[in-house]
């Protein structure tokens, strides 16, 4: 029976059961931490394990699919500028919004949260560190931004080498499919992961954590909506020549799919079809959307802003303006490094927290309900990609008609 039940439902059930088990185990916190949490950690480890090959091969495969490099040039600049700008706006909305909700976030006294201010890296060092000085280390340390730089460099080299790289192209496409399949297998374990992550958190913090988790979720969803309504509607109307309502209608099937699969990459085919139905050119969608599913994650950026403020607040920390600026930068970069697969945004949250010296352990607070954040942020992510396809298509058409 379990086999037939959609994964999203299984995860939801696991969440409810995990909460109930956690409430029942409030007097057995040590046992929950010792025997249940490790299985959650195993799941998180597997997600972390798969994220490097997924980022590497999905970006490589995305780039080498753009053989016509001149075409990439003209569409590429517009796409990248659009993606960067919308992501920066998203993270700003996330941070401002989360600060408005902050009054409802708790300082957790019942848990054993302790915090020692850690130094965050200076901005220039962060920039320098994006560029790898070694071929293996970025992969083994899962330094996402370095992996992305590698993928971009190697991807474009493959295009430039041309015929001689034919085998590399085949190999990369096939490895991409293999890693996607592995990811799929790992994700089937999500119900177990969710149960084992939420149960110890609820056991340790009691029912009170549920109210605050509901508040962060609400904050995130309100801000997802704000971003979609303000930024995308404005963009498709002013630059895409499409009414926001038509856009929403055309986008609905992809949104529903994204919500239930929590995967931008998985939603790609249906998103492409939707955009073409709305009048976007095939040339444009086949570049803009795969790239977007790999590097453009506005929903993830909002989520990271909200969670950073929430986790800081749980530890009784007020983020400074400088820290918020650092979050804007790292979350924008993290958005590029986030693979369009379920749970990837949570992995990248670690990078954002580290950049401002917040304790990475805070992720355990939100990890159990990550799937619920993820469903919403994936909807925002793919809607951002689609709005870009509409805008760039319209601009290219206007340019051609001049």
State which residue, 378 or 394, has the beta carbon closest to ligand ASP.
378
Closest contact distance (angstroms) between CB of 348 and ligand ASP is 7
Which span sits near ligand ASP by CB under 6 A: 162-170, 247-255, 256-264, 324-332?
256-264
Q: How many other CB atoms are there within 10 angstroms of residue 131's CB atom?
A: 12
Q: In this structure, are residues 87 and 332 in contact, taking their beta carbons and an 8 Å threshold?
A: yes
What residues numbered 310-339 form the site for ligand ASP, per CB under 6 A? Answer: 338
| Integer angstrom CA distances of residue 355 from 186, 203, 330 | 28, 30, 7
Interface with ligand ASP: number of residues (CB under 6 A): 16
Closest contact distance (angstroms) between CB of 223 and ligand ASP is 14
User: Which residue's Cβ lies closest to ligand ASP?
Assistant: 345
Closest contact distance (angstroms) between CB of 377 and ligand ASP is 5
Residue 205 found at the interface with ligand ASP (CB under 6 A): no
State which residue, 87 or 300, has the beta carbon closest to ligand ASP.
300
Q: Which residue has the tokens 């600049």?
A: 77
Read off φ and ψ for residue 321, nearest 5 degrees.
-60, -40
Q: Which residue has the tokens 């496409």?
A: 173
State which residue, 227 or 377, has the beta carbon closest to ligand ASP.
377
> How many Å separate Cα 111 from the centre of its chain?
28
Closest contact distance (angstroms) between CB of 220 and ligand ASP is 11
Residue 306 found at the interface with ligand ASP (CB under 6 A): no
Which span sits near ligand ASP by CB under 6 A: 82-90, 113-121, 258-266, 353-361?
258-266
Closest contact distance (angstroms) between CB of 338 and ligand ASP is 5
Interatomic CA distance for residues 190 and 209, integer angstroms: 21
Residue 383 found at the interface with ligand ASP (CB under 6 A): no
State which residue, 89 or 121, has the beta carbon closest to ligand ASP.
89
Residue 292 found at the interface with ligand ASP (CB under 6 A): no
| Integer angstrom CA distances of residue 310 from 2, 162, 184, 385, 395 | 34, 49, 30, 27, 40
State which residue, 62 or 343, has the beta carbon closest to ligand ASP.
343
Q: Which residue has the tokens 């001049």?
A: 402
State which residue, 99 or 300, has the beta carbon closest to ligand ASP.
300
What residues numbered 341-380 form the site for ligand ASP, per CB under 6 A? Answer: 341-345, 374, 377-378
Closest contact distance (angstroms) between CB of 343 and ligand ASP is 5
State which residue, 381 or 394, has the beta carbon closest to ligand ASP.
381
Interatomic CA distance for residues 257 and 253, integer angstroms: 6
Of residues 190, 263, 355, 394, which one binds ligand ASP by CB under 6 A? 263
Read off φ and ψ for residue 356, nearest 5 degrees.
-110, 15
Closest contact distance (angstroms) between CB of 114 and ligand ASP is 28
Torsion of CA 105, 107, 113, 117, to 10 degrees: 90
Q: How many other CB atoms are there within 10 angstroms of residue 67's CB atom?
A: 12
Residue 262 found at the interface with ligand ASP (CB under 6 A): yes
Q: In this structure, are residues 280 and 271 in contact, taking their beta carbons and an 8 Å threshold?
A: no
Residue 340 found at the interface with ligand ASP (CB under 6 A): yes
Reference 305, options 235, 266, 356; nearest CA is: 356
**Residues 6+ away with beta carbon under 8 Å from 96:** none
Q: Which residue has the tokens 């795969």?
A: 290
Residues that bind ligand ASP (CB under 6 A): 262-264, 297, 300, 338, 340-345, 374, 377-378, 381
């Amino acid at each position: 029976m379990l086999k037939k039940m959609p994964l999203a439902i299984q995860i939801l059930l696991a969440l409810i059961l995990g909460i109930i088990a956690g409430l029942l185990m409030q007097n057995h916190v040590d046992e929950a931490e010792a025997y249940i949490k490790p299985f959650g950690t195993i799941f998180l480890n597997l997600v972390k394990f798969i994220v490097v090959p997924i980022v590497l091969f999905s970006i490589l495969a995305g780039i080498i699919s753009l053989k016509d490099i001149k075409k990439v040039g003209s569409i590429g600049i517009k796409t990248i500028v659009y993606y960067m700008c919308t992501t920066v706006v998203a993270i700003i909305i996330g941070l401002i919004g989360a600060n408005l909700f902050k009054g409802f976030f708790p300082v957790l006294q019942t848990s054993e949260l302790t915090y020692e201010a850690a130094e965050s890296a200076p901005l220039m060092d962060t920039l320098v560190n994006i560029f790898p000085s070694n071929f293996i280390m970025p992969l083994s340390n899962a330094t996402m931004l370095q992996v992305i730089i590698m993928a971009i460099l190697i991807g474009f080299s493959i295009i430039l080498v041309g015929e001689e790289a034919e085998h590399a192209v085949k190999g990369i496409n096939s490895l991409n499919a293999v890693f996607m399949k592995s990811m799929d297998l790992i994700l089937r374990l999500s119900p177990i992961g969710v149960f084992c992550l939420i149960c110890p958190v609820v056991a340790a913090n009691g029912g009170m954590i549920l109210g605050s988790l509901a508040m962060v979720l609400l904050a995130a969803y309100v801000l997802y909506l704000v971003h979609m309504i303000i930024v995308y509607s404005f963009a498709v109307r002013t630059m895409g020549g499409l009414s926001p309502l038509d856009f929403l209608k055309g986008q609905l099937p992809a949104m529903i799919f994204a919500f239930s699969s929590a995967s931008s990459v998985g939603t790609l085919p249906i998103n492409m079809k939707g955009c073409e139905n709305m009048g976007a050119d095939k040339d444009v969608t086949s570049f803009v959307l795969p790239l977007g599913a790999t590097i453009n994650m506005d929903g993830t950026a909002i989520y990271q802003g909200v969670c950073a403020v929430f986790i800081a607040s749980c530890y009784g920390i007020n983020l400074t303006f400088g820290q918020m600026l650092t979050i804007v930068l790292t979350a924008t970069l993290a958005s590029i490094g986030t693979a369009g697969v379920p749970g990837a945004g949570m992995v990248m949250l670690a990078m954002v927290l580290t950049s401002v010296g917040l304790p990475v352990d805070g992720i355990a607070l939100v990890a159990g309900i990550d799937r619920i954040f993820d469903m919403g942020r994936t909807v925002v992510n793919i809607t951002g990609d689609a709005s870009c396809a509409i805008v760039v298509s319209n601009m290219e058409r206007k340019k051609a008609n001049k």
